[in-house]
Structure 1
Amino acid sequence: MYRPRRSVLFLPASNPRAIEKARSLACDVVVLDLEDAVAPEAKREARIAAVEAARAGGFGGRELVVRANGLDTAWGADDLAALADAPVDAVLVPKVSRAEEVARARAAVAKPVWAMIETCRALLALREIVEAGPAALVAGTNDLSKEMRCRPGADRAPLVPLLAQIIVAARAAGLAAIDGVSNAIDDPAAVEREAMQGLQLGFDGKSLIHPSQIDPANRVFTPSADEVAWAETVAAAFALPENAGRGAIRVEGRMVELLHLEEARRVLAVAGSKLG
């Protein structure tokens, strides 16, 4: 079943007010962060708060993910242990650089693991990483830019080839792919432009760091009325009894195959997303 992930909002697990507010926001995914957004002295309390928030529920149809600390840090192993029995939809592992890190996390939590691709080493090991079985790849553009010492600018030109590599790896393994964050908090137009670039590259949605970025991301990654209408037409045509079992049919003068049906179902899943 396809899950819409147009807007993936990161917020510090140590901030109870932010967590409570997230329960009513229009984002598709809430990521309770134990890593970058939490100071070292608050790591343990944030871990406890994340688990308690997950058990309290109230996130409606939003997917709930927790970003653990890196597995090579003093907190990573304890994070995974605490999240093993927590009612979260997935665990996001930062700074994944090797397939072994994905395998270790999957074994520890026995639930879907998302991998953040934000190091140069990870880009060189993408094939092995996706073969280790993550459920999604998340581009960590800020850390990647820092490690590369590049200057992305508004067009993110130095990162575009690498973002395309992440997309190719994710699609080859049938994984979700989430674009990196925009650092523009008070400029919705800038967020929208960056989200549109991500959409054109092939991402499913965008990582966000502030509630003000949700609406621009949702606008961009929500299919247009024309796209929805065509998807409905394709799905209805394949559902006709005379087309049962056929791999290719004619729809409104076009040749349509099963791959188009798969895309139509994805479009309808995103367009029909209801959060509550």
Structure 2
Amino acid sequence: MLLRHARSLLFLPASNARAIAKVRTLPCDLVILDLEDAVPDERKEDARTGALEALAEGFGNRLTALRINVEGTPWHGVEMIAAKQSAADYVVLPKVESPKQVKDVFSVTQKPVIAMIESARGVLAAPEIAAGEGAAALFMGTNDLRQDIGIPAIAGRDGLAMALQAVILAARAAGIAVFDGVFNRLDDEAGFEAECVAGHALGFDGKTLIHPSQVPVANQVFGPDAQALADARRLIEAATGGAERFEGRMIESMHVEAAKALVARAEAVGQG
């Protein structure tokens, strides 16, 4: 699967062997073994060892990533070496505010980097980060971004709207994937679904998750809609080139390309 086709991207503490075993039974598209916030300082070394073993065992056809600690922490260097040695497909780098951070990690690990945008400085630098060497995708780190901007935790996402769209535009201009931030209220299923729908409408490719229960909803919302997919196939079949009428609307080559992209995404996630 291509990264841009991923709908559900699940964070797991690399120190939690039980959670790692369970994720192999889940339909998530990308597994992120976390060495950063989810792991206490005293367990970093054990988590690193566990992550390497889990990645070596593999996660079936799921994409995999290792989230390392940022430069300036005691673990950054050794985790870059571990990432290089690992079977992870990607490295997730938190708190990115410059393309140099991504380039440095890519140079050491030789793995494409998913950059987390978690601050005002990161948002403003997003175009350069997305276009920089080694960048494979952007993640929204909405929890830290809220704090950095000064948005109350209980507030909605209105205050993040400009930042979210700016990061999406940066990723699209660079031709890389972009994913929405996590939803913290695990008992608010309706709120989570609403945020997925809103994120999809904004243009995000998928959503980062913190609990297995969130996977099915993310897959459903960010996966191709059955009606839209059927419409795309009819459009492709009917198109003959140039501007023309199709089922009461005008279409041209851009609509055909969009329809083909939707079909390709459906096939990638097993909905073809």
- Pick the aligned partner of 1:267 from 259, 262, 266: 262
Deviation at 1:152, TM superposition (A): 5.5
Deviation at 1:259, TM superposition (A): 3.0
Name structure 2 gaps, 5 residues minimum. Answer: none
Deviation at 1:250, TM superposition (A): 3.4
Q: Please name the residue that 1:86 is paired with.
A: 86
2 CA distance for matches of 1:24 and 1:215?
Answer: 12
CA contact (8 A) 1:188 1:212 kept: no
Deviations 1:213-248 (A, max 9, x none): 11221221122222101222234456xxxx5xx5x3
Residue identity in the other structure for 1:170: A
Distance 1:257 1:271, change over 3 A: same
Q: Please name the residue that 2:123 is paired with.
A: 123
2 CA distance for matches of 1:2 and 1:262?
Answer: 18
The 4+ residue runs of structure 1 with deviation greater than 6 A are none
Q: TM-score, normalised by structure 1?
A: 0.90
Q: Does 1:250 align with 2:251?
A: no
Deviation at 1:268, TM superposition (A): 1.9
CA contact (8 A) 1:34 1:47 kept: yes
2 CA distance for matches of 1:11 and 1:130?
Answer: 25
CA contact (8 A) 2:96 2:115 kept: yes
2 CA distance for matches of 1:127 and 1:263?
Answer: 24
Distance 1:236 1:154, change over 3 A: farther
CA contact (8 A) 2:127 2:174 kept: no
Deviation at 1:69, TM superposition (A): 0.8
Aligned length: 267
Distance 1:107 1:190, change over 3 A: same
Stretch moving more, 153-162 or 67-76: 153-162
CA contact (8 A) 2:8 2:30 kept: yes
Q: Please name the residue that 1:24 is paired with.
A: 25
2 CA distance for matches of 1:156 and 1:237?
Answer: 40
2 CA distance for matches of 1:153 and 1:235?
Answer: 45
1 CA distance for matches of 2:104 and 2:245?
Answer: 47
2 CA distance for matches of 1:236 and 1:92?
Answer: 40
1 CA distance for matches of 2:33 and 2:237?
Answer: 39
Report percent identity of matched pairs.
45
Deviations 1:84-124 (A, max 9, x none): 13211111100001110011011111121100000111112
Q: Please name the residue that 2:147 is paired with.
A: 146
Q: Please name the residue that 1:97 is paired with.
A: 97
